[in-house]
Amino acid sequence: MASRRTKKRIVMRILLLLILLLFIKSVSAQEDFFTEQSKPINKKTKEKKITGNRLFFGGNFGIQAGDYTIIELSPLIGYRITEKLSSGIQINYSYIHISVLKISTHIYGGSLFSNYYINKNIFARCEYEWLSLESRYFHTAIYQTQKRFSVHSVLIGGGYRQQIGERSYINLMILWNLNENALSPYQNPIIRISFEL
């Protein structure tokens, strides 16, 4: 129990350090952003910049190995509707193997999301997610009649976006599942890190 608490403390300290570093980087990036905004841009360059960058790709990938193995893959494609609003779809896949219990399962599904950018780095997020889970591991009461079942989640929250290249970003998000219940595959708050190109 003590080692579990120690691991949680270490994870929280790492996350706080990451947030602090991103915040410091953001403050310096804000100065560059406003300096660039004051530069004159001809109309052709501005039109090309807005229309050429509307489509974006990204997602996240995670792996944990050992007695408790998890492999996650979630590619996404999105569209910048305006400079402040973007929407997209994401495919979710997870493989879970617990060697002690001899359990192996696949979770898959998808989600629709929208981000509203409050400023260059801070955004609000709304997401609808559908997942398919094996009933023998997650809902044993229906296992005899139904091999898989669906879980629907409405997630809201916000995030911090840090530019790491000309068109690439890393996003740190904190989300809450508005309809969390005993069948939900994760607990609130949900912390995600994703990439965007």
**pLDDT value for 140:** 84
Q: What is the pLDDT along the chain (197 residues), one digit of tens a residue?
A: 445 555 555 555 555 555 544 444 444 444 444 444 545 555 554 544 545 579 999 999 888 888 889 999 999 999 999 999 999 999 999 999 999 988 999 999 999 999 999 999 999 999 999 999 999 988 888 888 899 999 999 999 999 999 999 889 999 999 999 998 888 887 889 999 999 98
Q: pTM for this one? A: 0.70
Check: CB of residue 128 under 8 Å from CB of residue 141: no
